[in-house]
Amino acid sequence: MRRNTIDIITLGCSKNLVDSEKLMRQLEANGYKVTHDSPNPQGAIAVINTCGFIGDAKEESINMILEFCEAKEEGRLKKLFVMGCLSERYLKELEVEIPQVDKFYGKFNWNELLADLGKTYQPEIAIERTQTTPKHYAYLKISEGCDRSCAYCAIPIITGKHISRPMEEIIDEVKMLVDKGVKEFQIIAQELTYYGIDLYKTQKLPELIEKIAQIPGVEWIRLHYAYPAHFPEDLFRVMRENDNVCKYMDIALQHISDNMLSRMRRNVTKAETYELIERFRQEVPGIHLRTTLMVGFPGETEEDFDELKEFVQKARFDRMGAFAYSEEEGTYAAQTYEDSIPYEVKQARLDELMALQQDISADLSHAKIGQELKVIIDRKEGDYYIGRTQFDSPEVDPEVLIKATGKRLFSGHFYQVRITNADDFDLFGELI
């Protein structure tokens, strides 16, 4: 057990990862050695940053906490702290259920951990962080919370109202990260399109992205988690006119049938959704759309599901994820609807939807054979260099595999690559 080492474990999304990175920077400034997601934690202190979004994520968080409780009981760990979404949501219950944890913090008060360790939070390094990603890319969180009221979603319960970060602070953070070698920025928030409404009384996402695009050294900007209703249309122009704004949009649509969209309280219709996708493709030629869909929401009929399948086949998303509805206590859906669709039916619909998408993804990947694309290298793995195009976000999207023969390639560098082959998920290429 290393007395001055703290192990931080991050579960859940990239927004949590940013919080962990900021905490790590503060701990290091206070003299600690910090590891992140170590396969073999050795520190005297552990901090688990939890996810509380859906059932599976909550279960994973609880199992991780119990694993570290066991290490504490066996004398392999002195102190255990828990932070993040799960403890924000179930703080009182967790304190009773898992007393082995020294202290639970919510999602926003993790800096109190420093005081509890007898250390000081240092506001002058508030925007600094210790990167856990490869040094050429970083996640950039531009806001917290969500003002939407989707029926199924517990995020507003956990994170509260939407709070935008001031534009100047975000710009300062980007400049600081560029100085450290970051070339690629994944712009993240619970909901991007709401950015600025609270601070500036109008949607400011297009202006923010344009300002980031003008910072020297910013090579790629990729946008994650947009909402289809009241989409800020000037963003089309920004994406079209700035080469370093990736032709990529991650926009969670959830469903297409008007029945489902209404029951889910999505504030958008089937016709408006089709129209938005059409606008994207007209205004930003070559754009790749990533979406997330949900099956098995209460009241989803066979007709609703047929509409969803038809939508997937017509829209031909470049990237698509899907999940089965899981009831979240405290949400509108949990209080209003009975979770009446059997698990087996949800799972069968999910499998059917993903099988449709797999064929579409394979077609779209094969269509890239022969194209020349700009690729950033992330790492070397076995006999291949692994990279991504502007259409691929780290962790979630396909990768480009380049045989590691001949010329040595460097992580974080861009190369022109000709695509020579494709499978259902990844592309294969050679240097030009």
Give me the mean pLDDT over the 324-342 stretch: 94
Region 371-377: mean pLDDT is 97
pLDDT in tens, 187-200: 999 999 999 999 99
Q: Show the tokens assigned to 269.
A: 């219709």
Reading phi first (left if > 0) and then psi (alpha if -120 to 50, else beta), residue 25 is in: alpha
> What is the band of 3 on the pLDDT scale with cuts at 50, 70, 90?
confident
Assess contact for 94 and 48: CB atoms under 8 A: no
pLDDT at 216: 98
DSSP 8-state assignment for residue 243: T
**Contact by Cβ (8 Å): 359, 353:** no
Q: Is 246 exposed, middle or buried (0-12, 13-18, 19+ CB in 10 A)?
A: buried
d(CA 230, CA 227): 8
Per-residue pLDDT tens digits for 53-104: 777 878 888 888 988 998 899 988 999 999 988 888 888 888 899 999 999 9
pLDDT for 233-260, tens place per residue? 999 999 999 999 999 999 999 999 999 9
Quick: pLDDT tens for 254-313: 999 999 999 999 999 999 999 999 999 999 999 999 999 999 999 999 999 999 999 999
Cβ-Cβ contacts under 8 Å for 293 (sequence gap 6 or more): 253, 254, 255, 308, 312, 320, 321, 322, 353
Residue ranges of the alpha helices (H) in 100-196? Answer: 112-116, 155-159, 167-179
**CA-atom Rg of the chain in angstroms:** 22
Is 135's pLDDT higher than 80? Answer: yes
Position 401 pLDDT exceeds 90: yes
Average pLDDT for the chain = 94
d(CA 223, CA 250): 6
